[in-house]
Structure 1
């Protein structure tokens, strides 16, 4: 079974189209599946909409945090609730199309327990670029990730990653980073287990209404990286 975890924070406007697209794809994919919306304390009706949708979609479930804790906290809750042998978490905007999923899953096996979508390796296609300032911020952050904690990975922040069930538990159960830097911690934990991380080129398009603020979040993610550099457990 495949589990798809969608972290959400005030996503009432775009979650209906996202869930509709996921259902269209997964209903015809030929295997059992579940979709888990992991809500991070939304106050705009996201929880109510998803809860109502579960009544007509048995494979859909909701994990609702009582208060806003950060994307990492939401993804952690969803990945630990999931039951699939493979567990994907995907941004709610589907900037990486769900059709890219088989390419990532094909890389799992043997020593490879994690496959991540990448916009920065040969073969990737960016249909719509981010605004210049945000794209520069992302490139700078990824260089810092390579320098400080994860040498060899070129794009740790693309919000589309697949873990085996074993890796999902090992990487997310002890997860400490609750904000946007959680990806780096999860991948670092996978690497410390000796597992291969496959970086897979994907098609990607920027969507508006990002929850990342360059001014608000850049300092925090830098502190997270420094903390991860010296993380022992």
Structure 2
């Protein structure tokens, strides 16, 4: 049985087209970082576009690829929890399937955990970051992250960049307290990690907005409500 140091997770929901690029590019990049010591887990979350069948074919051809399929939609957070719980690596990471964050940064992401950090996260909002996205998304992102910093006391700049790595043992000890099951998972993990004194490395990345991504009013309202709910649990319920 081969030793696995790095478990990389691609959360996917009806992303068959993106997976056709993301899987081979991930394997090439990971092989350069951890030769023969990685696995690529596709956390496929109730897709209906052929993603399951495509990844199953990749898995049959390459033992480093693992399909983690769910018949019903779990939500991004629950899908990630399931993948990290079943991962074999001492270092776990995930990134968005559209590869919006340039894969050149994966060596820095994993390297931060190798260097002793508990958490590493890419940031689109540091002065050195190189990002391209619509004005609406830029305004929404900066407003959201300002609220997280102000209300939840975070010292980080970007909480929702889908490009993060963790020491698996430290992450698993944190997850029982994390209640977010979808998009707010990223923020809650980072806020709770800070509250628990975890060492976190945030670094600038090159990021390009994927096609078809939009900011919906419903998403903005839900994320704002989630910030207030987490503040209540941390400061009133002490949970």
For the criterion TM > 0.5, the same-fold answer is yes
Contact 1:79 1:172 in 2 (8 A): no
CA distances 1:160-201 after superposition (whole Å, capped 9, x unpaired): 001011222123344311121111111122112211211111
Runs of 4+ in 1 over 4 A off after TM superposition: none
Question: TM-score of the superposition, structure 2-length normalised?
Answer: 0.89
1:217 aligns with 2:185: no
| Counterpart mapping for 1:132-143 below 5 A | 132-143=135-146
Q: Which residue of structure 1 lines up, in the alignment, with residue 6 of structure 2?
A: 2
Q: Which residue of structure 1 lines up, in the alignment, with residue 152 of structure 2?
A: 149
Q: Which residue of structure 2 lines up, in the alignment, with residue 98 of structure 1?
A: 103
* Shift in CA distance, 29/153, structure 1 to aligned 2, threshold 3 Å: closer
The structural deviation recorded for 1:117 is 0.2
Work out which of the residue numbers 57, 63, 84 in structure 2 matches 1:58: 63
Q: 1:3, 1:15 → 2: CA distance? A: 17
Q: 1:44, 1:146 → 2: CA distance? A: 38
Work out which of the residue numbers 13, 17, 25 in structure 2 matches 1:13: 17
Tell me whether 13-22 or 104-113 shows the greater mean CA deviation. Answer: 104-113
Question: TM-score of the superposition, structure 1-length normalised?
Answer: 0.92
Structure 1 unmatched ranges of 5 or more:
none
Q: Which residue of structure 1 lines up, in the alignment, with residue 54 of structure 2?
A: 49
The structural deviation recorded for 1:27 is 2.6
Structure 2 unmatched ranges of 5 or more:
none
| Counterpart mapping for 1:46-125 below 5 A | 46-108=51-113, 112-125=117-130
RMSD: 1.8
Work out which of the residue numbers 178, 188, 191 in structure 1 matches 2:194: 191
The structural deviation recorded for 1:150 is 4.0
Contact 2:126 2:157 in 1 (8 A): yes
Q: 2:224, 2:188 → 1: CA distance? A: 12
1:206 aligns with 2:209: yes
1:178 aligns with 2:181: yes
